[in-house]
Amino acid sequence: MLAVGMVRGETGVRSFDVPMPEIKQADEVLIRMKEVGLDGTDFNIVRYGLADIADGRNNIVLGHEGVGVVEDVGSAVKSVAPGDVVVITVRRGCGECQPCLLNQSDMCMTGRFTERGLHKLDGLLTQYAVDREQYVVKVPKAVTRLAVFTEPLSIVEKGIDQLRTIQSRLPWSCDHPNHGYLSLEWGGCKVALVIGAGPLGLLATSLLRLAGAFTYVSDIVPPRHKKAHLVRHMAAKYVDSRTKTAQQLVDFCCTPTGELSIIFEASGAAETALNLIPYMSRSSIYVMTGIPRGDLQIKLDAAQLVRQVVRNNQVIVGSVNSNRKHFEMALNDMTKVNLQFHGMLNEMVTQRYRLEDYVNAFGPRNGKHIKTVVEIDPWE
Ligand SMILES: [Zn+2]
Ligand SMILES: [Zn+2]
């Protein structure tokens, strides 16, 4: 069967003919792949030849945002059955550290984890995949056609989950009984700024808006760009950051309450990310999810930075990857996102390619690009 990935020592994508996988253990699930989303990490791996290929192997199959249909199950599998639409989690724990043993490999302490389509393990840009039941999550019927967004939404779920857990240190953040960080309507009275209106930024915006936060989203595209349109579709405000200094951007976002409760970085632009730190509000949180490439030296006032973080009880937190819990949260919230901001998720897909057309799927993207989806076995 056809699989798409990279060969050791090369840049660019290749196709391979690989054997059809088989169920070998009682807890395994055979999945016919339907769609796989591509993200910035995939494009960077291909462009810069960053594939992390397992020792003793010469290639790796890419793709980690996969949705498929269960074809067959091992004798011990209970949570899914043939015909179910499912998504597959990405990281497999190191088997040594406590977080991994507690099914929280997203917080792995040793770094010796593997990831499907990213680190050592074959990904999902292929026709069939086998995985263990604990890594396979059933998709509710209402969001079958949107399930390709589960993995990126799970990344954002984890970031927001971290932010709510940490900020629950502020039970007095306002005097409404339902606006505490651990309540469902936690976003009430909060102002958030999302940096970057790519897929992760837009998905973060959807969760912040669901929770009721005033949300501003900045990017470096004009206000007529589709990204800005999608921001407005969620009743969030788009800000073209090319026309504003960091100070002006924060002043603008602070208009409703005088404070900026949350900064959510989803662009991976290191200098932009650092430039906003001096403008954090008291007791506020800054969640970083974007991963910059390469090196960047900049000059900053270190004394001022440390003084500010200490004196203002500020939190700067990084968040990467996600575990099964976040996939389940993503599928649950996807139903709500789809109801409240109908059409937004579908509109994010700007490019669709068949698996056979993998060279173009990984090809140059124009300025209008938001999300690429590779169709392996199209929904009828
Ligand atoms: Zn671990
Ligand atoms: Zn409130």
At which residue do the structure tokens 């505490």 appear? Answer: 180
Query: How many angstroms is it from 321 CA to the middle of ligand 1?
Result: 13
CA of 350 to the centre of ligand 2 (A): 37
Residue 329 token pair = 């949260």
Residue 53 and residue 64: Cα distance in Å, rounded?
15
Q: How far is the CA of 115 from the centre of ligand 1 (A)?
A: 12
Measure the CA–CA gap between 344 and 226, rounded to whole angstroms.
11
Q: Among residues 106, 132, 169, which one has the least CA distance to residue 324?
A: 106
- State the pLDDT at residue 294: 86
Helix (H, G, I), strand (E, B) or coil at 352: strand
Ligand nearest to the CA of 112: 1
pLDDT of residue 173: 84
Cα–ligand 2 centroid distance for 343 (angstroms): 29
Domain edges within the chain: 2-138+345-375, 152-318
Taking the CA atoms of 125, 78, 154 and 97 in sequence, report the sign of the dihedral they define. Answer: negative
Q: Residues 211, 159: contact at Cβ < 8 Å?
A: no
Cα 26 to Cα 93, 136, 156: the distances in Å are 20, 14, 33
Burial class (CB in 10 A: 0-12, 13-18, 19+), 264: buried
Query: pLDDT tens digits, the chain, 380 residues: what are they?
Result: 999 999 999 989 999 999 999 999 999 999 999 999 999 999 999 999 999 999 999 999 999 999 999 999 999 999 999 999 999 999 999 999 999 999 999 999 999 999 999 999 999 999 999 999 999 999 999 999 999 999 999 999 999 999 999 999 999 888 899 999 999 999 999 999 999 999 999 999 999 999 999 999 999 999 999 999 999 999 999 999 999 999 999 999 988 888 999 999 999 999 999 999 999 999 999 999 999 988 999 998 999 999 999 999 999 999 999 999 999 999 999 999 999 999 999 999 999 999 999 999 999 999 999 999 999 999 98
In this structure, which ligand is nearest to the CA of 108? 1
Q: Which fold has domain 152-318?
A: Rossmann fold (3.40.50)
> Which residue blocks in 74-141 are alpha helix, DSSP H?
98-101
Note the CATH number of domain 2-138+345-375: 3.90.180.10
Q: Are 108 and 58 in contact (CB under 8 A)?
A: no
Q: What pLDDT score does 241 carry?
A: 94
CA dist 178 and 187 (Å) reads 9
The closest ligand to the CA of 101 turns out to be 1
How far apart are the two ends of the chain, measured CA to CA in Å? 21
CA of 162 to the centre of ligand 1 (A): 18
Q: Which ligand has the shortest distance to the CA of 186?
A: 2
In whole angstroms, what is the distance from residue 331 CA to residue 116 CA?
A: 20
> pLDDT at position 342, please?
92
The pair of structure tokens assigned to 8 is 């050791």
